Structure 1
């Protein structure tokens, strides 16, 4: 491994000495205050390799955004006219002047075309470089940083600069100033416990919701199964097709993935017909690496509503790190056993999905971090990638998070909701990518009749302005808040989330072929994705295009297709948080899906 690193570095060393030095005048591009808990562990080794990602400005993203909103608006004449892969790439391709300027800069540092991996649109450049060369290029100094609580190690800098003549030709460069704790960026699993070998019959009469009139088995109060979800969300008896071009995908990062044996156990337990048919999923490895331990909840929960007939793909970013314990594990450990550093998962995964000729029509992802741990430049660029998927007809669901409005803590004396801008102000902490306006964010409910679960992530973004599609709904919620409620703790002009909700506790899944009960919005997101997959099935049967980006539809003609949740709140930061109310709220959005109503509204 050391020999390999030496071989790869020699050409760069040769170029560095062979080329005449060019005297660049640098200017700071981005700088941050180290977030709470991070301290310098030591200098970064000069021969430590970084997968440097350079984002060039997307020349016509405003036009792509216009297309996205037109084709996602059920009132617009272009509704459903999704763009092709090539059309999207043309819209986000950088201006030729930007590409030329950056190429010249890279060449001056001995970096040749064969050293660069370019995204299909040319808007991202990825180059594997040693720290010493990156420090020279960015006029900065990298350190190993350690997190006091998690024990994570990452290689980062708090500031980097670029030559003035390319400053406007580069939107961002990472990994530089991002301090997100991506080692702990597991799915937002809130709880897990071993379950009984069989679902316990309570010998009690079914439970009815007096508002919707829907009746569910009494056992659904203690264990959520496929049958419970079909009953709760009014999808009993619907049979999807296997041959209409439908598909569903589940994103897994950082060592999390499905297990075929667990899936078979799940099917034997809850869908015998699927077990008999040996139903399974397609595995797609993003970085070409395999893992050997797994967790099947993402796959099985998506199957819970979409059934085993619809093709399912499991695709995840393994971020190309070399770690023998599991691909996609810790970003960096300062020893010779871990010679490469990783970036975060979203851009690697997005690069792959956007290059995929036919991405799944509905995708669930159950990962997130505090918005403030992600530099705003990166958050906006990743969000723009999600918009590209939407423009191509993909519905992307993300979990809202499991920390309520910030830390799921009611005690003001021990709350941990502080800004990381050096001022340490108490503030609600929205999550990312839940705060991105181009995804459908799914909050959590519990029990039946349903109510908001206390840990359901929700609130308002500090990075993204409120999109027009939710103006009326969010303003309606804010108008009924008493004056001064949580003044200064949240941004009332920011993108509100979640958009919808689904059950998030006591899901019966299988781990190492043993039954467990899990809870978290990581269960809610794939559950709602299953409903979207069924809706796509109904549309495709009638020759209609898939739903694509959902939010303009949800906030307009489809709003009546949800079960409004009006009980519960998402506490945190020493407060009771926001309360679920009639209509949209930043706890459960518009509520949980009523499939029978929604299928009429979208077909």
Structure 2
């Protein structure tokens, strides 16, 4: 097919579309964005630079899928836990046949026949691999190489593209075009063991924590987190997975992050001795790699695998390694765009007939760097997974209410829409309403970890499941607090939290420590996987999309979480939001009490919550 496309490239410079063909129709701008703040346009993109162009067709029945999702995720609904099959979900997101036909005709008019396309199982995405020169002709646009001033990352993007006017109702989005997301990992500073920031010291061997296992946590956990510490703190000591033949857990890896097996063995020998000889499956997506040389060991990949899998042994576990990472190097002889790794993972996991019941991701970006049309399509993919019974957790970000890129002089954060307005900067995918967003705590007793990302989406409206919790929080704010800096009617996040600092891990054969919400997400996902294990062992369905259940528990069953009160998540020249009793946009409802949650999800959830 590649040879075919290069032939097409040669011919398009000579050929003229036949009068009246789809390619000859009048074009109209489909999407346009302001030149992104913090990026510099350097030069025209090479004509032979290859991009994987993804065309999203409308999903006319998505509202029906969403209704199914909320009903089967609502503990008070009679359909709770009755998840949809892969085929049922695909039928609900399938585009109209007319949309498929018209898009196919448009592509064929540019010399790209139907059999040269790659389609998602539901046919709602069409992917073509073409040179920039052809994309520019098809969408009447110009691509350039843009360089991110702070990081040096480079992308081949445009700020506007057009489609034939008759296609506008049949195409939701085309990317990569106007998306300037860098998709970075969420992680605070890594340091060698012994060089950690000072923790609160105590002379007692144990710290009294009433909600913990046996009401106490080893004092060493205050400066050195291990799986045992987390099990003690979150009341999970003694639980042994019983559905290892059915329950599955996964973490995702991007940007060349390698999960080192020797480090995994060292970690288990030190902290999970019963799992010393265990391993995990590796799934390679889009030419993903997992280099096992010690100097290639990835801090993020090791953190995710060591903790998510260390908490859940012997549950079957998978590390997804997805290829593609910025920066693009514009001087390559045969340049290939590889800046959209997340789309490749979504394509793979949606095609999997039996995905893991729990998946953790510790990567994301600022919501404003992702065009709203694309963010909503990606978010809709998470809804598909939730409807099939998959629980998705995402780290909430490590920059409080900001983006880590505030103005050095004023410390203020600015919008990326050309207006340069002073605003808080929400995170994505953490602010998608169909995922569970995990903030961070530190120290024992637990406190707010000030980096914990949280706030309110500018793209997604507040879902019904969190109306009560968020209204209650907002009613406590002094009138006018941060007026104009955030969207009070937007989807609020995070939903929950977990420990996020002083995590002991092995990297390249050396023990070190790390923190961040990237530690909190695999921790929370590990405990969710254990809850799924308990349900599956009883013949019950997995939990699937968690948020309606979490907010129901938070409203009437406070013992399900350890509420974190006091502290805030500063950013953008402000103190950020404060952590209060109940839900807040810093730590959500707080950290999990596994023992109490297990008893709840193994019983009649709706009956217990109604007591």
Cα gap change, 1:69/1:17 in structure 2, threshold over 3 Å: closer, same or farther? same
Cα gap change, 1:369/1:289 in structure 2, threshold over 3 Å: closer, same or farther? closer
Q: Is 1:486 matched up with 2:482?
A: yes
Q: Is 1:408–1:570's contact at 8 Å kept on the other side of the alignment?
A: no
Separation (CA, whole Å) in 1 of partners of 2:407 and 2:498: 27
Q: Deviations over 1:17-40 (max 9, x none)?
A: 456434210111000001111111
**Structure-2 residue corresponding to 1:190:** 188
What is the Cα deviation at residue 223 of structure 1? 0.3
Cα gap change, 1:590/1:338 in structure 2, threshold over 3 Å: closer, same or farther? farther
Q: Is 1:244–1:537's contact at 8 Å kept on the other side of the alignment?
A: no
Q: Is 1:405–1:428's contact at 8 Å kept on the other side of the alignment?
A: yes
Question: Secondary structure in 1 aligned to 2:190?
Answer: strand
Q: Is 1:410–1:575's contact at 8 Å kept on the other side of the alignment?
A: no
Structure 2: unaligned runs, 5 residues or longer: 603-611
Q: Trace 1:196-345 onto structure 2 (pairs within 5 A).
A: 196=194, 204-209=204-209, 214-275=215-276, 278-292=277-291, 293-295=296-298, 296-306=302-312, 308-318=313-323, 328-337=324-333, 339-345=335-341
Q: Is 1:411–1:575's contact at 8 Å kept on the other side of the alignment?
A: no
Separation (CA, whole Å) in 1 of partners of 2:480 and 2:600: 38
**Structure-2 residue corresponding to 1:519:** 515
Give the structure-1-normalised TM-score: 0.93
What is the Cα deviation at residue 407 of structure 1? 4.1
Cα gap change, 1:416/1:285 in structure 2, threshold over 3 Å: closer, same or farther? farther
Q: Is 1:196–1:515's contact at 8 Å kept on the other side of the alignment?
A: no
Question: Secondary structure in 2 aligned to 1:385?
Answer: helix
Indicate the larger mover: 6-15 or 449-458: 6-15
Separation (CA, whole Å) in 2 of partners of 1:51 and 1:75: 43
What is the Cα deviation at residue 336 of structure 1? 2.2
Structure 1: unaligned runs, 5 residues or longer: 319-327
Separation (CA, whole Å) in 1 of partners of 2:114 and 2:407: 55
Indicate the larger mover: 516-525 or 283-292: 283-292
Which residue of 422, 433, 437 maps to 1:437?
A: 433
**Structure-2 residue corresponding to 1:75:** 76
Q: Is 1:456 matched up with 2:452?
A: yes
**Structure-1 residue corresponding to 2:31:** 30
Q: Is 2:407–2:413's contact at 8 Å kept on the other side of the alignment?
A: no
Q: Is 2:249–2:529's contact at 8 Å kept on the other side of the alignment?
A: yes
Separation (CA, whole Å) in 1 of partners of 2:288 and 2:132: 24
Separation (CA, whole Å) in 1 of partners of 2:357 and 2:550: 17
**Structure-2 residue corresponding to 1:156:** 157
Give the root-mean-square deviation of aligned CA atoms: 2.1
Separation (CA, whole Å) in 2 of partners of 1:155 and 1:416: 28
Question: Secondary structure in 2 aligned to 1:162?
Answer: strand
Q: Is 2:563–2:581's contact at 8 Å kept on the other side of the alignment?
A: yes
**Structure-1 residue corresponding to 2:506:** 510
**Structure-2 residue corresponding to 1:118:** 119
Separation (CA, whole Å) in 2 of partners of 1:410 and 1:190: 17
Separation (CA, whole Å) in 1 of partners of 2:168 and 2:12: 24
**Structure-2 residue corresponding to 1:418:** 414
Q: Is 1:171 matched up with 2:168?
A: no
Give the structure-2-normalised TM-score: 0.92
Q: Is 2:288–2:321's contact at 8 Å kept on the other side of the alignment?
A: no
Report the number of matched residues.
Answer: 584
Q: Is 1:501 matched up with 2:497?
A: yes
Cα gap change, 1:532/1:244 in structure 2, threshold over 3 Å: closer, same or farther? same
Q: Trace 1:338-487 onto structure 2 (pairs within 5 A).
A: 339-407=335-403, 413-487=409-483
What is the Cα deviation at residue 10 of structure 1? 1.1
Question: Secondary structure in 2 aligned to 1:368?
Answer: strand
What is the Cα deviation at residue 210 of structure 1? 5.2
Question: Secondary structure in 2 aligned to 1:583?
Answer: coil
Question: Secondary structure in 2 aligned to 1:571?
Answer: coil
Question: Secondary structure in 2 aligned to 1:265?
Answer: helix
Q: Deviations over 1:131-186 (max 9, x none)?
A: 1111111011111111111111111110000001111100000010011124xx1x
Question: Secondary structure in 2 aligned to 1:180?
Answer: coil
Q: Is 1:58–1:94's contact at 8 Å kept on the other side of the alignment?
A: yes
Separation (CA, whole Å) in 2 of partners of 1:124 and 1:544: 33
Which residue of 538, 541, 546 maps to 1:542?
A: 538
Q: Is 1:248–1:533's contact at 8 Å kept on the other side of the alignment?
A: yes
Q: Is 1:12–1:110's contact at 8 Å kept on the other side of the alignment?
A: no
Q: Deviations over 1:417-440 (max 9, x none)?
A: 101111111110000000000000
Q: Is 2:264–2:506's contact at 8 Å kept on the other side of the alignment?
A: yes
Separation (CA, whole Å) in 1 of partners of 2:406 and 2:14: 59
Q: Is 1:55–1:170's contact at 8 Å kept on the other side of the alignment?
A: yes
Separation (CA, whole Å) in 1 of partners of 2:49 and 2:515: 39
Q: Is 1:332–1:338's contact at 8 Å kept on the other side of the alignment?
A: no
Indicate the larger mover: 212-221 or 200-209: 200-209
Separation (CA, whole Å) in 1 of partners of 2:176 and 2:207: 52
Separation (CA, whole Å) in 2 of partners of 1:538 and 1:552: 19
